[in-house]
A and B are shown apart, each in its own frame.
Chain A
Amino acid sequence: MTQRPFTRRAFLAGSACTAASLRFAEKLFGAPDATAAKPNPALEKLAAVALHEAQKQGATYCDIRINRYRDQYCGYRLSPPRGGSGTDEVPFAGDSQSFGFGVRVIAKGQWGFAASPEVNEGEIARITREAVTVAKANSVLQAQPVLLAPTGQYIDRWVSPSEKDPFVVPMDEKLELIHGAALTVKKNPKVFSSYGSLFFHAEDKYFASSEGSSIQQYIVQVYPGLGGTAVDSQKNISRDRSYQVPPLSRGWEYVAMVNLGENASRIADELVEHLAAPPVKAGKKDLVLMPSHMCLTIHESIGHSTELDRALGYEANYAGTSFLTTDKMGKFRVGSDLMNIFGDRTSEYALSTVKYDDDGVKTTRFPIIEKGIFKHYQTIRDQAHLIGENESRGCCYADSWSSVPFQRMPNVSLAPAETSVTLDELIAGVEDGVLIEGTGSYSIDQQRYNFQFGGDAFWEIKGGKKRGMIAQVAYQAKTPDFWQACDGIGGRSLWQQYGFPNDGKGEPMQTNAMSHGCAPARFRQINVIQTD
């Protein structure tokens, strides 16, 4: 390692501690404290300004979110220099913070919203008046007045589970770890380039409403990444392979658990095999889909189709609507009897897990599909009455203090088999099929019917056995046909929560993180195509 003039101690002294003492956001939220039962009084004092001002301006409801987001990233890209065969090692390291507040009101039956990065009492009062002005102005074009489902009054503080906050771990320790893993992938002479990255996201969130809730929460998420690319310039092809690590809402301890270094050489070997792998022969085949792949299949085909705002037309102009229209609730068969899907923002370590959503609603686990039948939508407070329900299912989220909270996908997961079905048993039942791991190219239509999904790596299954790798695989299906073709799901011991940090929806577009728990699953006679 190159000689470095500054030590880890210098980093701590020069960065984290200094920043903590100088930034208002750090003082306002304080350090994550799993033992505290109440929000910081300084947050409540600021929020009171908005709640008071909104009432004074004639709003019938108000909530304020004062949030601070922190993202830290570091890693390496290892690739050959121009025209050379060596390796250039390009490091990157950064830390980003965003702090501000957003005020949401209902006035004259209409939502209004305004937001600012200047967190002080004067600006909070001014922005609250702006939000009321917006609501009143737009009430002339309201389809129907906003009606909120009831929720409890909560005074609470909550911290997502972690043993060690990743933001206090010195950057050089992180760089060293990820450098070693990326270097191991690149050591294989047939690997063209490799990368390794560690990304950490934290949200300090405070919510207060005119209905009496005051909630402070801290969420931290960990996203490790490792992979590489191999190139065959004679054939003019390249292939990728990455280590499939589930991102989770955990602490630094998780990075050690995923064994990046130990998996690096396997990833390099599979990358080289992927480059030489023959293309798939197109046709109807059975698929065995691993959790690292199934997560996105669940996400796209079921997660999005069961969002109530899509079914009601609120997303018609951007993300689209849903084939699961409200008349199908309670009776439409989406999949086989094996298919049990649930929404769950309480699941330990999952990316969308919080104790309260951005409506101030306590989160729950709820059924979405039971034995293949569509049962319930994902909902928020202003939607529940539109389908005759009396309470929200806690799916409200805004990706920033400056974003309008709306219905976002919770953790949507496929229940494992009740018996201990193994992966070998799933594969043994396949004469001609493909096992798919990881996510590749994904595309689905605006009502979530027609999809075409790729993957990160593919293995042929012949005569009930997993064989060598194949390439250029994608499969096409309609959502109900696909899920009705599911005839095998692995047992609980195979259940894993993979997830994503950046699902896009809404206008202006917002991103959302969520997990999708599942075990490997088998699907019969799916249309497999060969891509370029």
Chain B
Amino acid sequence: MLSKQEAKNLADKVIGYSKLPGCQVDVYSSEAVFIRFANNGITTSGYSLDHSVSISSTTEDKRHGNANVSELTDAALRAGVEQAEAMARISHPNPEDMPALGPQQYPEIENFDTFTGNSRGDALIGHVKGIIDAAQAKKLTAAGFVQRYATCSAVANKAGLFGYHQNTSADLSNTMRNADGSSSGWATQTSTTVRDLNGMDAGRIAADKCANGVGKKRLEPGKYTVILEPAAVSDLIGTLGYSMWARSAEQGQSFLSKKGDKPGQTLLGEKLFADCITLRSDPFNPKLPASPWGPSLLPNEKIAWIEKGVVKNLVYDRFWAEKAGKKPTPYPSNLVLEGQNHTLADLIQSADRAVLVTRFWYIRMLQPQTLQATGLTRDGVFLVENGKVTSPVMNFRWNESPVRVLQNTKMLAQPVATQGAEAGSSFAPALLATDFNFASISDAV
């Protein structure tokens, strides 16, 4: 892991080699410690270091060339600069190029935990033991993964911009399966610190789901009220929240494009959802990794994409913002869906009949104008009747849009740090939504 001064020295050296008017340097280094386990034993594990320097060169007439190198000797760095500059010289001018930003005031983001950054396998193996113990206590088989990750990133350019950031992350997930393969359960934990992981808790949740999942009922496909646990919600808001580009909305390729005779109209400012729906990005959330700057190198900031049901902001990069006469907005640094003062138990208790979903799997987009996607349920689906979980049910394939899910949301719990299978970590609550479209039954367990 490079210190701030080491990263600065490296970036300055690269910039010193450059001859063209524009040079941006991105420095990245990381250290990972991970343990993977299956069939109640550790399978593979490791300790891995990495680093890279990315060089982006620009000519006076806006031609770009990029080179990424992992050898950090003076000779290799100089060769990388020469390569990027040679490519820039023979490329064509980029009409969307924006002038390099000068020095920026990047916010201090506290998501580096020294304990986590110094942790090795001995800080993780206890969690694995907790999960395997939970599995063996119920005669189940556990598989899972635990890792801690520390990264440092720095950015600098010839116009005097410099930024440096370190962050840590810690993730744990486990799947329990029973001996005859008729049931499975899953649980996850994610944070910026290993101190927040608890293998025993995660093991217990997955084991309970697996044990309670035996004897699945077959429910006919169709529209159901659903109670989605946070990991499932996280994947849905990821599909929606990372698709809020102003450009695609204005150009008729987004769920935020307005249908009609006037091309370029968007749904910005319109109320698409109920008052209970507020979706933000918050780089200052201490439990989620985030960078002080985004892809445009502007400082990251807390921003509402949907506020009390109204589409509040779209993502305007610097180029599109200038053309539109708007202030640029940062690309979502993470996603936080605000909740209500309820618990998952409250949601279950409120439902006459609903399907409770642990998590989703293999979500793929079908139609960008509606955000209709397809995916499956996995590792714990239960029928809720008269406010109680009454039986496990078989998995479903679904064809549904997260826009419609949020429009049909009636009740939310408090958000927690979580992650599903597709969209990375976020802060998401469990929610209850009506009319969720289950398209077919999946025999998979």
Residues of chain A whose beta carbon lies under 8 Å from any beta carbon of chain B: 2, 4-6, 8, 10-11, 14-15, 18-19, 22-25, 79-83, 88-100, 102, 110-118, 130-131, 134, 137-138, 140-144, 170-172, 175, 179, 192, 229, 231-238, 312-318, 320-321, 323, 325, 402-404, 406, 441-450, 452, 454, 472, 474, 476, 478, 507-508, 529, 531-532
Contacts and interface: CB of A to CB of B under 8 A. Distances in A.
B65 interface: yes
A99 B71 contact: yes
B140 to A, nearest CB: 11
Interface string B64-101: 11111111010110111011111111111111100000
B320 interface: yes
A123 B441 CA distance: 53
Given A447-B445, A474-B366, A93 B177 contact: no
A4 B86 CA distance: 12
B216 to A, nearest CB: 14
Contact of A532 (B92, B258, B401): B401
Contact of A134 (B45, B361, B397): B45
Interface in B288-340: 320, 323-324
A480 to B, nearest CB: 10
Interface in B135-167: 141, 143-145, 147
30 contacts: A2-B92, A14-B82, A23-B76, A89-B95, A90-B96, A93-B91, A94-B67, A95-B66, A97-B70, A97-B71, A98-B52, A99-B70, A111-B44, A114-B46, A115-B47, A170-B90, A171-B87, A233-B260, A312-B38, A315-B143, A316-B177, A318-B145, A321-B181, A406-B44, A443-B362, A450-B376, A452-B440, A454-B366, A474-B374, A531-B372
- Give 6 nearest A-B pairs by CB, closest first: A143-B41, A94-B66, A113-B46, A96-B68, A447-B444, A236-B259
A82 B321 CA distance: 10
Most chain A Cβ neighbours within 10 Å, of B54, B75, B186, B253: B253
Contacts of B401: 532
Interface stretch (B3-11, B111-119, B122-130, B273-281): B122-130
Interface string B386-423: 00000000010101010000000000000000000100
Nearest to A86: B95
Contacts of B443: 323, 445, 447, 449-450, 478
Given A23-B76, A134-B47, A313-B143, A98 B90 contact: no
Contacts of A235: 259
A77 B378 CA distance: 38
B343 to A, nearest CB: 27
A100 B50 contact: yes
B68 A317 contact: no
Contacts of B173: 317
Nearest to A138: B42
Contacts of A140: 125
Interface stretch (B29-37, B102-110, B235-243, B346-354): B29-37
B434 interface: no
B285 interface: no
A95 to B, nearest CB: 5
B6 to A, nearest CB: 14
B48 A5 contact: no
Contact of B145 (A143, A170, A317): A317
Contacts of B75: 22-23
A81 B320 CA distance: 9
Interface in B251-294: 251-253, 257-261, 263-264
Nearest to B33: A134
A304 B251 CA distance: 38
Nearest to B323: A82
B364 interface: yes
Contacts of A316: 38, 141, 143, 175, 177, 184
B182 interface: no
Contacts of A141: 37, 41-42, 125, 128-129, 132
A23 B95 contact: no
Contacts of B247: 82
Given A90-B96, A441-B374, A138 B444 contact: no
A88 B95 contact: yes
B365 interface: yes
A285 B430 CA distance: 39
Given A92-B64, A115-B49, A15 B83 contact: yes
A317 B144 contact: yes
Contacts of B323: 81-83
A111 B43 contact: yes
B413 to A, nearest CB: 25
Contact of B121 (A117, A118, A138): A138
Contacts of A445: 361-362, 376, 378, 395, 397, 442-444
B174 interface: yes
Nearest to B59: A5
B363 interface: yes
Nearest to B78: A22
B84 to A, nearest CB: 8
A93 B440 contact: no
B71 A25 contact: yes
Given A233-B257, A313-B39, 19 more contacts: A11-B87, A14-B86, A24-B76, A82-B324, A83-B323, A89-B95, A91-B94, A93-B91, A95-B68, A137-B121, A141-B128, A171-B91, A192-B252, A318-B421, A321-B181, A446-B361, A450-B376, A507-B34, A532-B370
B275 to A, nearest CB: 26
Contact of A112 (B45, B70, B78, B79): B45
A83 B49 contact: no
B64 A444 contact: no
Contacts of B258: 236
B251 to A, nearest CB: 7
Contacts of B372: 531-532
A399 B235 CA distance: 26
Contact of B90 (A6, A19, A111, A192): A6
B170 to A, nearest CB: 14
Contacts of B52: 98
Given A113-B44, A236-B259, A24 B71 contact: yes
B67 A446 contact: no
A312 B145 contact: no
B48 A231 contact: no
Contacts of A312: 38-39
Contacts of B445: 447
A234 B67 contact: no
B369 interface: yes
Contacts of B250: 82-83
Contacts of A114: 46-48
